[in-house]
Chains A and B, each alone.
Chain A
Amino acid sequence: MSKVMTLKDAVASFVHPGDFLFIGGYVCRTPFAAIHEIIRQNIGELTIVRSNAADDFDMLIGAGLVKRFISTFLSLGIYGLGRCYRRSLEKGIPHKIEVEEYTNLSLPMMLQAGAMGMPFVPVRDMLGTDLLNVKSFMGDNKYKIIDSPFDGKPTLLVPALNPDVAIIHVQQADAEGNAQIWGIGGDCQAGANAARKVIVTCERIVDREVIGQDPSRTIVPSFKTVAVVEEPFGAHPGYTPGFYDVDFAMGYLYQQASNTEDGLAAFLKEWVYDIEDRADYLHHYIERFGYKSFRNLAAAYDYSYPVSYAY
Chain B
Amino acid sequence: MSTEKADYSKPELMACCGAREIEDGDVVIVGTGFPAMAANIAKHIQAPHAVLMQESGVIDARPKRPALSVGDPCLNPGAAMIGGLVEIMGMVLQAGLVDVGFLSGSQVDRFGNINTTVIGDYDHPRSRLPGSGGANPIGSLARKTLIIALHDKRRLADKVDFVTTPGYLSGAGDRERWGFPENSGPAAIITNKAILRFDDETKEAFLDAYHPDCTVEEIVANTPWELKISPTVHPTPPPTQDELRVIREVLDPHGMISVYEKKGYV
Instruction: Spell out A's residues near B (CB within 8 Å).
Output: 26-28, 51-52, 71-75, 77-78, 81-82, 85-86, 89-90, 101-106, 108-109, 112, 123-131, 134, 153-154, 182-190, 239, 241, 245-246, 248, 299, 302
B8 interfacial by beta-carbon distance below 8 Å: no
A28, A129, A245: the one contacting B163 at CB < 8 Å is A129
- Listed from nearest, the 9 A-B pairs whose CB atoms lie closest are A185-B84, A27-B71, A73-B133, A105-B137, A125-B137, A104-B134, A75-B130, A108-B85, A128-B178
* Residues of A close to B55: CB separation below 8 A: 104
CB of A186 within 8 A of CB of B85, answer yes
Q: If the complex has contacts A89-B125, A129-B165, are A73 and B94 also in contact, measured as CB distance less than 8 A?
A: no
* Residues of A close to B127: CB separation below 8 A: 86, 90
Q: Please, which residue of chain A has its CB at the minimum distance from the CB of B115?
A: A130
Residue tally, chain B, CB below 8 Å to A: 55
Binary contact track B66-91/A, C-beta < 8 Å → 1, others 0: 00111111011100001111110110
Contacts between the two chains (Cβ within 8 Å), count: 177
B105 interfacial by beta-carbon distance below 8 Å: no
Chain B residues 162 to 188 lying within 8 A of chain A, measured CB to CB, are 162-166, 169, 174-175, 177-180
How close is A43's CB to chain B, nearest CB, in angstroms?
A: 25
How close is B24's CB to chain A, nearest CB, in angstroms?
A: 27
How close is B154's CB to chain A, nearest CB, in angstroms?
A: 16
CB of B75 within 8 A of CB of A126, answer no
CB of B84 within 8 A of CB of A184, answer yes
CB of B162 within 8 A of CB of A81, answer no
Enumerate 23 A-B pairs (CB-CB under 8 Å) in ascending A order: A26-B57, A27-B56, A27-B71, A73-B130, A77-B69, A85-B128, A101-B131, A105-B94, A108-B84, A109-B86, A125-B136, A126-B140, A128-B140, A128-B163, A129-B169, A130-B162, A183-B73, A184-B71, A185-B56, A185-B57, A185-B83, A246-B73, A299-B73
* Residues of A close to B84: CB separation below 8 A: 26, 108, 184-190
Expressed in whole angstroms, the Cα–Cα distance for A130 and B71 within the complex equals 27
B117 interfacial by beta-carbon distance below 8 Å: yes
* Residues of A close to B83: CB separation below 8 A: 185
* Residues of A close to B178: CB separation below 8 A: 127-128, 154
Expressed in whole angstroms, the Cα–Cα distance for A104 and B58 within the complex equals 14
How close is B155's CB to chain A, nearest CB, in angstroms?
A: 16
Binary contact track B83-112/A, C-beta < 8 Å → 1, others 0: 111110110011000000000000000000
Q: Please, which residue of chain B has its CB at the minimum distance from the CB of A75?
A: B130
CB of B117 within 8 A of CB of A187, answer no
CB of B90 within 8 A of CB of A90, answer no
* Residues of A close to B179: CB separation below 8 A: 124, 127, 153-154
How close is B125's CB to chain A, nearest CB, in angstroms?
A: 5
B222 interfacial by beta-carbon distance below 8 Å: no
* Residues of A close to B128: CB separation below 8 A: 81, 85-86, 89-90
